[in-house]
Amino acid sequence: MIKRKNKILIIYTGGTIGMQKDIATGTLVPFDFSRIIEHIPELQLIDKEIDTLSFEKPIDSSNIQITHWLKLAEIIEKKYDNYDGFVILHGSDTMAYTASALSFMLENLSKPIILTGSQLPIGDLRTDAKENIITSIEIAGSYENGKPLVPEVGIYFEFKLMRGNRTTKANSEHFNAFDAPNFSPLVQSGVHLKFYKHRILPLQSGIFNVHKILSKDVIILQIHPGMTKEQLLHIINIPQLKGIILQTYGTGNASTQKWFIDALKQAIEDKNIVIANVTQCHSGGISPEKYETGRKLVEIGVLNGRDLTTEAAVTKLMYLLTKKLSKLGLTNAFERPIRGEMTI
């Protein structure tokens, strides 16, 4: 009996990884992903069946919107039963946002969704694109006893797979462009692929479902010395605003000036705006009860974002605000991990 090859769908959205240099003009243009074998002949050595699908109009990741996340989620939903894993090729600038959003939107996910990209176009001599694509495909198609080894959304870059909603872009020039500052890699690539099974989310048994609504009425507000009352009130009074991810200092600290605390309290109590506290620091989390400058925020009802990345915090709130939860239910859901996105 011939063993069936695992089937992988590559979805190209746009970004540096899918570009090649036009010899005549010297400019970068998207290449036809249906002819990917011509650019990466090594794919013929992979014991996987590979199909490709491209956005009709590739987009720069700086232009990613909620509509594009929905489009990706719907592609995965439509193709879910036909493939064993998915590799999404995506520009690096907003990849962590997309990975975080998909991790929440794809409920009861039981197949690998691996996002990757590159710092140099696929046609460049020193490109990092080939290794990233090849290893992403290998991981997406890695099964054991008929079950996927990584049944979650991840980002693969420069020899490691990270949980998507734990990841942030950390460098604009190095090949090692991404970091998961508060969570160790799920897979390390070397001579062999090393899977850290104890870190990987367990296989979900529920029915796969795509949550197709996210709130657009959420913003990120980074506080800074010199912020004025007028600036803060202007933001709080944005029409239809439903959520604020408040980037605070250190372990969750902010100004204790009366106008600042009163403005946030008014937003929470009078305008029903959900405000969540995350740190501005690259790594670590918040402990707002540690200092008075953090306790004030807890007392007025600001949610505890623990060690969420900003990307995970904003997309999680976008997701939860459309779940029709009670105030207590939303608080409990936000302050606890639902997709492995934070540490308790």
Instruction: Kindly list the catalytic residues.
Output: 16
Q: Residue 63: CB partners within 8 Å, gap ≥ 6? A: none
Residue 334, token pair as written in the block? 């936000």
3-class secondary structure, 331: helix
Residue 286 is classified by DSSP as -
Q: Residue for token digits 């980037």? A: 247
Q: Residue 131: CB partners within 8 Å, gap ≥ 6? A: 159
Instruction: Find the DSSP H helices in 42-179.
Output: 66-79, 95-105, 129-140
- Report the alpha-carbon angle 129-126-25, nearest 5: 90
Phi, psi at residue 217, to the nearest 5°? Answer: -95, 45
- Calpha distance 227→260 (Å, rounded): 9
CB 163 within 8 A of CB 186: yes
Nearest to 36 by CA among 19, 58, 52: 52
- Calpha distance 188→201 (Å, rounded): 16
3-class secondary structure, 173: coil
3-class secondary structure, 38: helix
CB 184 within 8 A of CB 166: no
Pairing relation of β-strands 19-21 and 106-107? Answer: unpaired
- Calpha distance 64→90 (Å, rounded): 10
